[in-house]
Structure formats: C-alpha cells, structure tokens
A = this chain, B = another copy of it.
Amino acid sequence: MAEVYAARRERLRDHCAAAGSDAALVSRPANVRYLAGVAPQGAVLLLGGKEDVLLCGEALGTELGEGRPDEALRIQVLDAAGVDAAVAAAGLLMSEGAESAQVLAVEEHHLTVARHRALATVAPRLRLADLGGAVERLRLVKDEGEISCLRIAAEIADQALSELLESILVGRTERHLALELERRLVDHGADGPAFATSVGTGPHSGRITHRPTDRRVEEGDFLSVCLGAAYHGYRCEIGRTFVIGTSPADWQIELYDVVFAAQRAGRETLRPGAACRDVDRVTREVLGAAGYTEALAPRTGHGVGLEIDEDPRLGPAAMGRLDACVPVTVEPGVHLPGRGGVRIDDTLVVRPEADGGPELLTITTKELLAL
C-alpha cells in the first residue's frame, strides 16, 4: 500500500511543479487520507521540501484515526501552533539558497482565513498560492483497490438491508429501524455508517435526507430507506422504497414505476464519455413526462469514495464527462407532500461497454416489494 500513497503524492507533486508551486499543504481530511493513508483529526500533509511530512495536532494523542499510515511517510506530532511553525520551518528549509520566494500551494476551499493568515505570518518568505481542487481531481477515477473497498461496502449495506426486510416492521419507529440498520452494518464489518441512515415512513417516505422521527410504520405506508457502509474509509449508498402490507395502492404502483423507469434511464446513460448533465437530464425527462417536475432534488446523483458526496455531481448545471472507474450514485425520487414518495438509489461504477457496461455495486432488488 505504501507505494500507492507514494505514487499519488508523486502525481500531486507533478501537478504542483507544472503549476509553479514548490510545495503543497493539504488540509482537507479526505484529501489527507487519500495521500497519506490516514487522516487524524486536524492533521495536515506537507508535500515537497526535503521530505513529505504528516503533521498532527495535539488533539490526536496516541490515536492515528482509522486506516494505516503510509510507512514511508514521516509523522510529526505537534501542538496546534506547532503545525504552522513546522510548515514555516519546512518553508525556510526550502528557501535555503533560493533566490526568489518559494511558493506553497494551500487548499483555499478548505483552509480558514485565520489559518491562512497565521501561515503567512510565520512564514513570510513563502508565497501562498491556491492548490484548488487538485487532489479532488486525482480522487475522481478510482483504482481497483478503491473499487474493491466500495464493493465490500455495498455488500455490507445489501446484507444489512436484506436482514431488516426479514423482520417485522409494522409498529416500529423510523429511529429504531435506522439504528437497527446501523448496528447491522457494523455487525457485518463496516467501519460504521457512511452517513446518517435515513428511514422515512408514510408521508415522510421519498424525502431526501429525511431525519428519522418517532413515527411508526403503518399498514399501507411507503417505507423508504437510504443507508450506506464505510469500509476502509470508502463509502457507498443504497436507497430503496417498499410498501407495507399485502398489496400496494394504484397510486403507489404508478409512482414507483415512474421513479424506477427514471432511475433505469439514468443508469443506462452511465458510460465513459457521457456528459454528467445528460445522466441528470434523462432521469428528469422521465419524471417530467409523467408530470413530476416540481420539488425534485437539485441533483440525480453524485460521486462516492472517501466522502459520501464527492465529484462528479450529476445535475443540470454539471460540467464534465464521466470516465471509466468513476463510482457514482443514481438516485432520482419523487415526494408528494402529505402522501409520501419513492426514492431508488444505487451505487455503480462507470465501465466501458466492452467490459459489460456500468457495474452495479448495490444489488438488492428494485422490484416493488410488499412487506
């Protein structure tokens, strides 16, 4: 694994060199983890200079957080002020004998104004530049090691969900069902839930990021569930909607069929080279043709990886195209205020048609089950 991290850091170093930076300070936790193998709270990774150093704050103690640190990396534990001082020291080392100011690229979309100012003060010989989303762009296309973590995460979520479906649901609260799912994720080897599990019943069903309440499952309800496992830091997502009772009502079948068709259209659009906005457009068109145009989610899906919501974003204003080995969710939904709704959410990996097309990671059935 050490070579994987070293190779990633090498790619970032190349990027920095091309952009005219002598070194980079990576502070966004998922980016630190991607490059170092761990991301202790408050840790920053300094790339360049004489060697790469992971600088950890005092909050850490002896803990190094989840994951294993890359052994090729020097780890320096400091107090909070010390991180800035160490960066400064590294900066000064770099400047030795240099004629012009050295350039340190920082993540301006993550670093706070106060931290930026402190750096500028302790390292006056450094010029601070913006690293922008360079690490996020490296993270976009996953290697097979990352995809296999996502695959295991998806298996765990599928298992937790299938076990829940075998139990009695009527009379249980949304909060209890959500907790039960999270316990099962951990039982099956997850680091933990990938995000707060959402369980919506009856009028709450089909809402995006619904927080579970004390409402109990009733006969005739739609039940929508969205959960995911984190496995070795990688996060997947699955969402399904079920009907409680023996037979769904006509409006439930109709609504389900529309969302299912929209989700399938989105999945079928996933291929290397497809425009991100087209995936969103085709799902929206199916919903729109059935008369559902209002209160739709701003996006149809998003990338997953070390974060549950990362690039690419699949929405009407999304730029860019999909690549092979990019995992994304496809998750259209419709919520009818007061009545409830349907969401169907899968995690898939974009693959060329020659390799069989998109790889579905979350394999729980998408038939409308009556439980």
- A: which residues have CB within 8 A of B? 58, 61-63, 66, 79, 106, 108-114, 116-117, 130, 175-176, 179, 182-183, 186, 207-211, 295, 297-298
Contacts and interface: CB of A to CB of B under 8 A. Distances in A.
Q: Binding site of A, secondary structure by majority: helix, strand, loop or mixed? A: loop
A178 B61 CA distance: 21
A197 to B, nearest CB: 11
Closest 6 CB pairs of A and B: A108-B113, A109-B114, A108-B114, A113-B116, A179-B183, A58-B298
Nearest to A41: B209
23 contacts: A58-B298, A61-B207, A61-B208, A61-B297, A61-B298, A62-B207, A63-B208, A108-B112, A108-B114, A108-B117, A109-B112, A109-B113, A111-B112, A112-B112, A112-B113, A113-B116, A113-B130, A114-B130, A175-B186, A176-B186, A179-B182, A179-B186, A183-B183
A121 to B, nearest CB: 13
Contacts of A183: 179, 183
Nearest to A207: B62
Contacts of A117: 108
A208 to B, nearest CB: 5
A117 B116 CA distance: 12
Given A111-B112, A175-B186, 7 more contacts: A106-B113, A113-B113, A176-B186, A179-B182, A179-B183, A179-B186, A183-B183
A130 B118 CA distance: 14
Contacts of A106: 113
Contacts of A298: 58, 61, 79
A110 B112 contact: yes
Given A175-B186, A179-B183, A211 B66 contact: yes
Contacts of A114: 108-109, 130
A272 to B, nearest CB: 28
A356 to B, nearest CB: 34
Of residues A66, A207, A298, which shows the largest number of chain B Cβ atoms within 10 Å of its Cβ? A298
A63 B297 CA distance: 12
A296 to B, nearest CB: 10
Best-buried of A61, A63, A108 by chain B (most CB within 10 Å): A61
Nearest to A315: B58
Nearest to A183: B179
A182 B178 CA distance: 12
B109 A209 contact: no
Contact of A111 (B113, B175, B179, B209): B113
Nearest to A106: B113
A111 B117 CA distance: 12
A209 B63 contact: yes
Nearest to A61: B208
Contacts of A79: 298
